[in-house]
Amino acid sequence: MNKLWMFFAALILGTAADAGEISLLDEKVSYRGTLYPEVTESEMIPWRFPPRQLFPEAFKDRPAYPTKSGQSRTGTSIVVKTNSPTLTLRFKYEGATFATFGSFQDNVFNGFVRLTNPEGSSLTLKSAKPGESVEYRIVGPASYPTYTLIRIEIEDGFELKSPSPLREKVYVALGDSISHGLRKDNTCQTWPWLVAESLKMEFYNIAIGGSNANVDQVGPVTQLPRIDLMTILWGYNDCINKGKSIEEYLKDMNEVLDEIRRHHPETKIFVLNLLQTTNHQSKKTELTVDDFREAVRKLVASRVSASDENIYLIASETATNTEDDLNDVVHLSHGGAEKLATFVAAEITKILSQ
CA–CA separation, 242 and 256 (whole Å)? 17
Work out the angle at residue 161's Cα, subtended by the Cα atoms of residues 157 and 163, and round it to the nearest 5 degrees.
Answer: 150
| Cis omega (within 30 of 0) for bond into 145 | yes
Domain 170-353 matching CATH 3.40.50.10490: the answer reads no
Provide the phi-psi class of 241: left if phi over 0, else alpha when psi is between -120 and 50, else beta.
Answer: alpha
Burial class (CB in 10 A: 0-12, 13-18, 19+), 225: exposed
CA–CA separation, 29 and 146 (whole Å)? 20
Burial class (CB in 10 A: 0-12, 13-18, 19+), 330: buried
pLDDT of residue 18: 39
Helices (H), the chain: 51-54, 67-70, 177-180, 191-199, 236, 246-263, 289-305, 334-353
**Would you kindly state where each structural domain of the chain is located, as residue ranges?**
4-161, 170-353
Quote the pTM value. Answer: 0.93
State how beta strands 268-272 and 311-314 pair. parallel
pLDDT of residue 19: 52
Fold classified for 4-161: Jelly Rolls (2.60.120)
Burial class (CB in 10 A: 0-12, 13-18, 19+), 194: buried
Q: Which helix (H) or strand (E) element contains residue 172?
A: strand 170-175
Neighbouring CB atoms inside 10 A of 258's CB total: 12
Can you give the pLDDT of all 354 residues of the chain as single tens digits?
Answer: 443 333 333 343 333 333 589 999 999 999 999 999 999 999 999 999 999 999 999 989 999 999 999 999 999 999 999 999 999 999 999 999 999 999 999 999 999 999 999 999 999 999 999 999 999 999 999 989 999 999 999 999 999 999 999 999 999 999 999 999 999 999 999 999 999 999 999 999 999 999 999 999 999 999 999 999 999 999 999 999 999 999 999 999 999 999 999 999 999 999 999 999 999 999 999 999 999 999 999 999 999 999 999 999 999 999 999 999 999 999 999 999 999 999 999 999 999 998
State how beta strands 121-126 and 30-32 pair. unpaired
Strand partners, 231: 173, 270
- Compute the radius of gyration of the chain from its Cα atoms: 21
Contact yes or no for 154/82 (Cβ under 8 A): yes
CB contact burial 173-188 (16+ within 10 A = b; e otherwise): bbbbbbbbbbbbbbbb
